[in-house]
């Protein structure tokens, strides 16, 4: 029997009951977030005693936060971060951010005549306690400047300008890499049948590749940060922007962009599914979908984002699916 529980610590206080928790993790944004709703007055455990306190006065911005959502004997979800804002409502709302909160407090106002992308990111996280766990693409930036921006904004700008996947995990390790190349594991979903572990798949749509129109803007970033851009595909298609690095010629860029269009045009699903707290899933995972009614529709998809909601009504996840993956990816 699955018994739902939670363990939450904020600063020196710990509690195992609250009104609701919502955790949002996505590879579209650098920052993962969580919202906690608790009574304005509650019994909290501190390191020294168990006491009834006015939570609105006890909980402050910047306090470290750890959220564990779980079934008995099963870890379902973990979020680690910091209190970003306390909204003085009834019940009390606590907005939290992951370790990008530390970067949001760092102001950057620097210019360089020549610097690498790796060195810029190292400058952004310097002194924060965040460590880089991967190497970004080898690109020289000349010149480059960060003028009166905070570190979190600077990372998001790099993510958008270079088409990278950037996120910080629960161990405060920074991952920087090419889009869709991170591999955080695999999760299996049975859409129908006796073994189903999906609550709702109404927002999941199956389409044929012949019905999809795609137009691609392909941007090749050279080692000196100069760029070559092309557009190919269907004139009336949905525009997708794809980034490539150090492609040697325009013809090669066209060939690679055409290959990506073939990947974007596929027989398969798009949309999201609603599941229980288990199985555990994170952005960047490969979601393997099976369907007893339509076994020919089985396939693997990149998990773009996960919204986890926990409360008196139970726990649910909303899992957003991205591109279709090859079986061996």
Quick: pLDDT tens for 196-219: 999 999 999 999 999 999 999 999
The highest-level CATH class for domain 4-98 is mainly beta
Q: What pLDDT was estimated at residue 1?
A: 58
Burial call 67-95: b when 16+ CB within 10 Å, e when fewer: bbbbbeeeebbebbbbbbebeeeebbbbe
* H or E element in which residue 102 lies: helix 100-104
The highest-level CATH class for domain 183-208+267-329 is mainly beta
Three-class SS string for 150-177?
EHHHHHHHHHHHHCEEEEECCCCEEEEE
Q: Is the pLDDT of residue 305 over 60?
A: yes
- How far is CA 285 from its chain centroid? 11
CB neighbour list of residue 121: distance below 8 Å, 6 or more residues apart: 132, 136, 155, 158, 174, 176
CB neighbour list of residue 97: distance below 8 Å, 6 or more residues apart: 31, 32, 33, 34, 81, 82, 84, 104
Quick: pLDDT tens for 20-29: 999 999 988 9
pTM of the model: 0.91
Quick: pLDDT tens for 219-242: 999 988 899 999 999 999 999 999
The answer to whether residues 280 and 25 touch, using CB atoms and an 8 Å cutoff, is: no
Quick: pLDDT tens for 105-115: 999 999 999 99
Residue 104 DSSP one-character state: H
Q: What is the mean pLDDT of the chain?
A: 91
The answer to whether residues 51 and 21 touch, using CB atoms and an 8 Å cutoff, is: no
Q: Is the pLDDT of residue 156 over 90?
A: yes
Burial call 257-275: b when 16+ CB within 10 Å, e when fewer: beebbeebbbebbbebbbb
Q: What pLDDT was estimated at residue 180?
A: 86
Q: Give the integer Cα–Cα distance in Å for 20 and 252.
A: 51
Quick: pLDDT tens for 267-294: 999 999 999 998 999 999 999 999 999 9
Q: Measure the CA angle with vertex 136, ends 132 and 137; round to 5°.
A: 165
Q: CA distances (Å), 101 to each of 8, 104, 136, 159, 172, in order?
A: 18, 5, 22, 17, 11
Q: Is the pLDDT of residue 266 over 80?
A: yes
Q: Strand pairing of 173-178 and 131-132? A: parallel
């Amino acid at each position: 029997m699955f018994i739902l529980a939670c363990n939450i610590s904020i600063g020196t206080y710990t509690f195992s009951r609250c009104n609701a928790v919502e955790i949002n993790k996505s590879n579209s944004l650098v920052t993962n977030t969580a919202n906690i709703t608790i009574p304005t007055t509650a019994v909290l455990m501190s390191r020294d005693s168990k006491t009834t306190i006015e939570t609105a006065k006890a909980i402050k911005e910047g306090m470290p936060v750890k959220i564990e959502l779980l079934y008995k004997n099963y870890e379902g979800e973990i979020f680690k971060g910091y209190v970003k804002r306390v909204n003085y409502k009834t019940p009390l709302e606590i907005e939290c951010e992951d370790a990008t909160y530390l970067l949001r407090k760092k102001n950057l106002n620097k210019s360089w005549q020549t610097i690498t992308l790796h060195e810029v990111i190292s400058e952004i996280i310097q002194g924060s306690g965040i460590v880089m766990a991967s190497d970004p693409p080898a690109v020289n930036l000349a010149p480059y400047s960060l003028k009166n921006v905070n570190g979190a904004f600077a990372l998001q700008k790099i993510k958008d300008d270079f088409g990278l996947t950037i996120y910080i995990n629960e161990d405060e390790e920074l991952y920087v890499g090419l889009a869709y190349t991170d591999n955080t594991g695999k999760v299996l979903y049975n859409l129908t049948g006796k073994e189903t572990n999906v609550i709702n798949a109404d927002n999941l749509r199956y389409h044929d590749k012949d019905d999809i129109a795609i137009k691609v803007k392909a941007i090749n970033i050279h080692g000196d940060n100069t760029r070559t851009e092309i557009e190919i595909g269907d004139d009336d298609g949905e525009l997708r922007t794809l980034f490539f690095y150090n492609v040697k010629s325009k013809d090669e860029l066209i060939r690679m962009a055409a290959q990506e269009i073939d990947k974007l045009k596929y027989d398969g699903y798009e949309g999201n599914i609603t599941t229980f707290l288990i199985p555990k899933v994170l952005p960047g995972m490969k979601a393997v979908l099976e369907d007893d009614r339509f076994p020919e529709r089985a396939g693997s998809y990149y998990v773009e984002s996960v919204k986890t909601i926990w409360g008196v009504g139970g726990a649910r996840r909303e899992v957003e699916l991205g591109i279709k993956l090859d079986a061996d990816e």
